[in-house]
A and B are shown apart, each in its own frame.
Chain A
């Protein structure tokens, strides 16, 4: 360090990082899309057959590229089907959160005054709870038994709930729980963006024309805040995937019959005692890869927008 000049970040590096992210995510997506071709199955729930004669097989043995888990399910097939579930949860939860949070923040900024204060204080209050604790609390509220019975019939039919199977209900609950936890940050971001949009002249003209609240929100405010919200949605996908894994780990996720990376990790935990480490490694690496990819892309978009740089 004797030179009198500093080497600082090379702007080219940030585009390289973004491309690495895009490639990682493309790999994960294509594997999720290819799941039926590589590991055929009729149902989304319990798509990978149990084979108790081939439990805990190590990788590259007996035609199992990645080995099998404690129930003899092929890990590759599980990982591919799990990719679908985890990505569906991540993307749907992130978009639900950003939509709700975006509208909440926009309404709050647009209405202003005491309503704005109340709406944003509620967000601040909920943000003070660590997200896993909030996740647990909302899960308690949503899965209260009588609450489920108050669902109208058609929703239960839509979710394929029958007397012997809960169908897509766990998936639905997990998505609602995750988006109910993550919309807060989106609401804050949306509000601050909308507040700056509200100072623009075309908003004054729109107001002068006597435009309605709904039209104002969906025609003028939200479309202009969309780029910022899109970045937030990208980053929330990675949060949602991590949260799903955490929920499954605590036993509040999709359950062992539906392969997602989270539920794979959960069942792998009990096979770890029998020395089956590969069943733990596979889903963990997949989660990490996806989250790294999403974070790199999110950071890349932030960079290209010249937004305030976060640490990844």
Chain B
């Protein structure tokens, strides 16, 4: 298993390299460099020689390839991705501040989306089996469809205003959100670990929850047409037993894979949700740097997001291999076969 994980990690490296080359080339193609931004209008008061010296200090007189290698080696070995144009602080330390809130938000949203999505999907399949439940199932299906199609930030600010007007925050402190500018976690709050995160995470998870619910519904319903289901029913097992013991276990692997693959869309959604809820995370940082044209920051953020997504896909893949012995055997057979 360890060998498998290592092998997968090694496969992720070239992907990250390609990503870094593309983004670096894109940023380099933009007119103006960090010296232009740092010096700004004072440039006309400086002698060309001074500017030349500055450029040399930043390594901007080198060829693009050399610049890329310099940037990469500084980034990988020293953790130095340059300084933010905005306030001159090292990019990496700003990201270190902004990463934990985003991870907290996205992790809780992922757990919510997976648990409630699977329950929702199974509830739809179970309800479909009864006469009255059929109509309930249709209702749940439509709700899931609407939640999947509605813009997340729209639901976000509707939820925010409605909760504020109806006094939900006073009644249910768990759902409270922090005001813009205040620290993200209030130590006095009863649920300090979950402080202020529940409502944003719930809103963030809704779209994915609906997608997982719809996927579970389709996957399980398709699984029910398999012959082993008829066999199990023929042996005299009840439908509950067949559903929970046989069908669920078989459709679980792709569901877990889907949950792992949810991370890119949750991270993407978090950019908008963080803006709605004034959440001091990486998403808002990305929006701020876009407006401020903070190129080193954007470059580092793209790499950060890329790494998060690539490694989460890897984890989802490895998890699926762990759960499903058929796929694991097939994978190892392929690896062994590849070895001469």
Contact = CB atoms under 8 A, between A and B. Distances in A.
B150 A284 contact: yes
Interface in B80-121: none
A277 to B, nearest CB: 7
A130 B271 contact: yes
Interface in B305-319: 305-306, 309-310, 313
Contact of B153 (A246, A277, A309): A246
B211 A292 contact: no
A5 interface: yes
Contacts of A7: 128-129, 134
B145 A140 contact: no
Nearest to B20: A125
B130 A1 contact: yes
Interface in B106-151: 126, 128-130, 134, 145-146, 148-151
- A: contact size bracket: 35 or more
Classify chain B: how many residues form its interface, as a range.
Answer: 35 or more
A311 B286 contact: no
Nearest to B303: A129
A284 B158 contact: yes
Interface in A132-188: 132-134, 136-137, 139-141, 144, 146-147
A40 to B, nearest CB: 29
Interface in A242-296: 242, 245-246, 249-252, 265, 269, 272, 277, 280-281, 284, 287-288, 291-292, 295-296
A288 B149 contact: yes
A22 B222 CA distance: 25
A133 B150 contact: no
Given A1-B129, A144-B293, A277-B161, A122 B154 contact: no
Interface in B157-215: 157-158, 161, 211-212, 214-215
A190 interface: no
Task: Give the dominant DSSP class at B's interface.
Answer: helix
A295 B149 contact: yes
Contacts of A281: 158
Most buried by B among A129, A146, A238, A295: A129
User: Which of B129, B154, B219, B269 counts the most A-chain CB atoms under 10 A from its CB?
Assistant: B154
A2 B241 CA distance: 11
Given A126-B19, A144-B31, A311-B211, A132 B150 contact: no
B268 A130 contact: yes
B30 interface: yes
Nearest to A238: B149
A312 B30 contact: no
B225 A8 contact: yes
Contacts of A140: 290, 293, 295, 298
Given A122-B18, A287-B154, A292-B145, A129 B306 contact: yes
A128 interface: yes
B325 interface: no
Contact of A136 (B130, B290, B310): B290
B278 interface: no
A133 B148 contact: no
A196 interface: no
Contact of A133 (B146, B153, B242, B286): B286
Contacts of B212: 311
B67 interface: no
A3 B293 CA distance: 64
Given A311-B211, A311-B218, A132 B271 contact: yes
B154 A6 contact: no
A133 B271 contact: yes
Contact of B271 (A3, A9, A136, A295): A136
A251 B239 CA distance: 53
B120 to A, nearest CB: 12
Contacts of A292: 145-146, 149
A3 B239 CA distance: 7
Interface in A1-52: 1-9
Tell which of B151, B224, B234, B240 has the most Cβ of chain A within 10 Å.
Answer: B151
Interface of A: 1-9, 121-122, 124-126, 128-134, 136-137, 139-141, 144, 146-147, 238, 242, 245-246, 249-252, 265, 269, 272, 277, 280-281, 284, 287-288, 291-292, 295-296, 309-312
29 contacts: A1-B239, A3-B129, A4-B234, A4-B236, A6-B129, A8-B225, A122-B22, A125-B15, A125-B16, A126-B19, A128-B305, A129-B264, A130-B268, A131-B268, A132-B283, A136-B286, A141-B29, A144-B30, A246-B151, A249-B153, A249-B275, A250-B275, A251-B291, A272-B157, A288-B149, A292-B146, A295-B149, A296-B145, A310-B215
Given A8-B225, A238-B149, A311-B217, 18 more contacts: A1-B130, A3-B239, A122-B18, A122-B22, A128-B309, A130-B271, A131-B264, A140-B298, A141-B29, A250-B272, A251-B291, A272-B157, A280-B158, A284-B151, A291-B150, A292-B146, A295-B148, A311-B215
Interface of B: 14-16, 18-19, 22-23, 26-27, 29-32, 126, 128-130, 134, 145-146, 148-151, 153-154, 157-158, 161, 211-212, 214-219, 221-222, 224-225, 229, 233-234, 236, 238-240, 242, 264-265, 267-269, 271-272, 275, 283, 286-287, 290-291, 293, 295, 298, 301-302, 305-306, 309-310, 313
